[in-house]
Amino acid sequence: MRKLKTVLTLSILFFAVSFVVAQKDIDKGIEFFDLGEYATAKDYLKSGYTKMKGDKVKKAEVTFLIAECYRHMKNVKLAQTWYKKAIKRGYKDPVAILNYADMLKMNERYDDAVAQYKLYREKVPSDERGEYGVKSCELASVWKKNPTRHKVEAMAYFNDRETDFCPAFAKKDYKTIYFSSAREGVIGDKLSDISGIYYTDIFRTSKDRKGKWSIPEPLGPPVNTEFDEGGCCLNKKANTIFFSRCIEVKHEVKGCQIYTATKKGQNWGEPTLIPIVADSFDIKFPSISKNEKTLMFSADIPGGYGGKDIWMITRPKKTKPFGEPINLGPEINTYGNEAYPFIYNDSIIYFASDEHLGMGGLDIFKATLQKDGKWKVENMQYPINTSSDDFALIMEDKREAGFFTSYRPGGKGGADIYYYEVPELKFATKGLIINSETETPIVGATVKIIGDNGYMREMKSEADGSFLFKKIPEGGDYVVSAVYDGFLLNKFSFSTKDLDENKTWTSNISLEKIVINVARDIADIYYDFNKATLRPESMVALDSLVTFMEDNIKITVEIMSHTDFRGKDEANLKLSDARAKSVVDYLKSKGIEADRLKWHGYGESVPHVVTAKDAAEYSFLKEGDELSVDFINKLKSKDEKEICHQLNRRTQFKILSSDFETQKEQLIIPQEPKDDGSDEGDY
């Protein structure tokens, strides 16, 4: 009995000691957590967790804090595991469900994430993050199945097993890149209490003529120090750098600040602090505008909308000090975190957010300033964005290409730098210029392409009658026309708008020889009864004639009008003459020169001759029949007679000459360069 009491006493003492030791570690962990030193906090909390006995509520709270540490340290898989444990242990705050859903989404377990978001929505219906989470999972699935045209490539020469992030252009030719890294060679050669990785320094790499990037070299002192230097940008001349520096002091809350330094020869001068607010706030990831008057950054300073926001400071001249920080507003900033701004131009910026609708973690967004002063925010979608953290995008001035950072699977370790571009679409058109009568090629015809975007080229058809226009810009409507002496112009059109694949349009253009004094019907010309007034529907048909005259600027024509034989001859002649004149008046109103136009009314004097088309449509007629008075009167059917009258009532034109010298200014079109056989095959 005494032995049993001794055992019980020792057990109680052991649990009491264990509780004290566990509580001490937990208290330490919470202290470091509040300081933002998540790596250190995680170690103390896990130590206390393993020693805890009893108190289920307390253990659930510690489990949640460990999950939070892993989330801040970007260890998504372990964060997911510990959030699940916290929920299982009965952690009361529904935020554990929300964060667990976020981790599931970042691990591409979208169906499981949706279930957790819906559960959170049931528990906290007033918080829109539950609904946002469901929508983001749905969008992520759609975007992944329908990727944008961006091509993404991991930068093998940039990336190391340690974290590499925040690329910045250092030259106008985009062949020198600065970035931050925790790789071997950093000055602060120890693990950060915040991130659990080595302190980061700024490195530099350049691309040679063969396209190979040099081994990255650290900038060294005085820019790099024993602390974190991460997230930089340079001005256009690359002689001024702006960068974040995060100083860690034990047991003190020290935020990150932005510094600037100027180049002195090949080296950087001593950095100076840009005073924005107190050093207890995180201010980092600067981006400078091209005129150096605006500096944007991410910060958690008071007056924001949630976690970290995008802010800016401005100055009247680049030699003057910056003013007070200005928040970019609620279209960009949310109750989540917005960071890594990049100023592309006066109206477009790129940034990362974990709260705007995205695929998971941080997504990259494009923000365009509207006329009303508000920002329109668009997700860059897959493959720029993934379920992992994607951020810190930079872009060249004249094409959609550059670099960004991502924690996506398949990298060398931690965050890696990726190159992206939207490949230029290759559009071309080719074909043969052919004599419509002989079906033989026409050599030396003038072939032109004109786009509504200002693109214009001209060439002569080759010895085999062929033509080829390549490297046609995207986003345009185009007309290709061909003309040759003694032939009428012909053309075809196509559009490169809304296309996302390479395409070549192949079309042979048949040219019709100009034949003088041969009448051609103008279909669908209608007048009011016994009047010369053109009906509105006639103008559509006449617009085709306007285009014909505009295309063939050297021809002159006669407009011919005919009536049926009913009515008096004199009246029919007068009516037909007035109708022909009304057509000429319309053509002149559309800008056709008066000297190119004549008109004549023929009344009933020139009966219609049945064409093959007429004969195919009307079985009682044969090709070559002349619809004279005698021919019509011999018909027994009233309907057949009326059809013949309709065919006789027609408007025609005939070409009188093809050597008119127009006074209109001619368009000068650049010649299409000769194919040097060097590039893209048919393109």
pLDDT at 675: 56
Same domain, 34 and 135: yes
Same domain, 401 and 260: yes
Q: Packing angle between helix 38-51 and helix 56-72, nearest 10 degrees? A: 150
Look up residue 208 and give its DSSP letter. -
Query: Residue 672 falls within a domain, yes or no?
Result: no
Same domain, 70 and 102: yes
Query: Residue 152 falls within a domain, yes or no?
Result: no
Query: Residue 682 falls within a domain, yes or no?
Result: no
> Which residue range(s) make up the domain with 84?
19-145
Q: How many domains does the chain have?
A: 4
Boundary of a domain, candidates 421, 454, 484: 421
Give the amino acid at 279: D
pLDDT at 255: 78
Give the amino acid at 311: W
Those residues with Cβ within 8 angstroms of residue 573's Cβ, 6 or more apart along the chain or in another chain: 601, 602, 603, 605
Same domain, 307 and 175: yes
pLDDT at 461: 97
Boundary of a domain, candidates 421, 448, 478: 421
Query: Residue 674 falls within a domain, yes or no?
Result: no
**Looking at residue 37, which CATH number applies to its domain?**
1.25.40.10
Same domain, 205 and 308: yes
Whole-model pTM: value is 0.73
Query: Residue 663 falls within a domain, yes or no?
Result: no
Same domain, 379 and 436: no
**How would you classify residue 284: left for phi > 0, otherwise alpha for psi between -120 and 50, otherwise beta?**
beta
Same domain, 265 and 396: yes
Q: Packing angle between helix 110-123 and helix 95-106, nearest 10 degrees? A: 160
pLDDT at 192: 67
Query: Residue 671 falls within a domain, yes or no?
Result: no
Are 78 and 66 a contacting pair, CB within 8 Å?
no
Query: Residue 318 falls within a domain, yes or no?
Result: yes
Residues of the chain with pLDDT under 70: 1-19, 21, 192-196, 250-254, 664-668, 673-683
Boundary of a domain, candidates 511, 544, 566: 511
**Looking at residue 317, which CATH number applies to its domain?**
2.120.10.30
Same domain, 404 and 471: no
Same domain, 197 and 129: no
**Looking at residue 542, which CATH number applies to its domain?**
3.30.1330.60
**Looking at residue 481, which CATH number applies to its domain?**
2.60.40.1120
d(CA 294, CA 278): 20
Q: How far apart are the first and last CA of the chain?
A: 98
Query: Residue 351 falls within a domain, yes or no?
Result: yes
Same domain, 307 and 165: yes
Q: What is the 3-state secondary structure (H, E, C) of 581-649?
A: HHHHHHHHHCCCCHHHEEEEEEECCCCCECCHHHHHHCCCCCCCCECCHHHHHCCCCHHHHHHHHHHHC
pLDDT digits (tens, 9 = 90+) for 93-145: 999 999 999 999 988 899 999 999 999 999 999 999 999 899 999 999 999 99
For 328, phi and psi rounded to 5 degrees? Answer: -75, -5
pLDDT at 17: 41
Same domain, 398 and 444: no
Same domain, 100 and 226: no
pLDDT at 463: 96
pLDDT at 84: 94
Those residues with Cβ within 8 angstroms of residue 243's Cβ, 6 or more apart along the chain or in another chain: 202, 223, 229, 230, 231, 232, 233, 258, 259, 260, 261, 271, 286
pLDDT at 673: 67
pLDDT digits (tens, 9 = 90+) for 135-173: 999 999 999 999 999 999 999 888 988 899 999 999 888
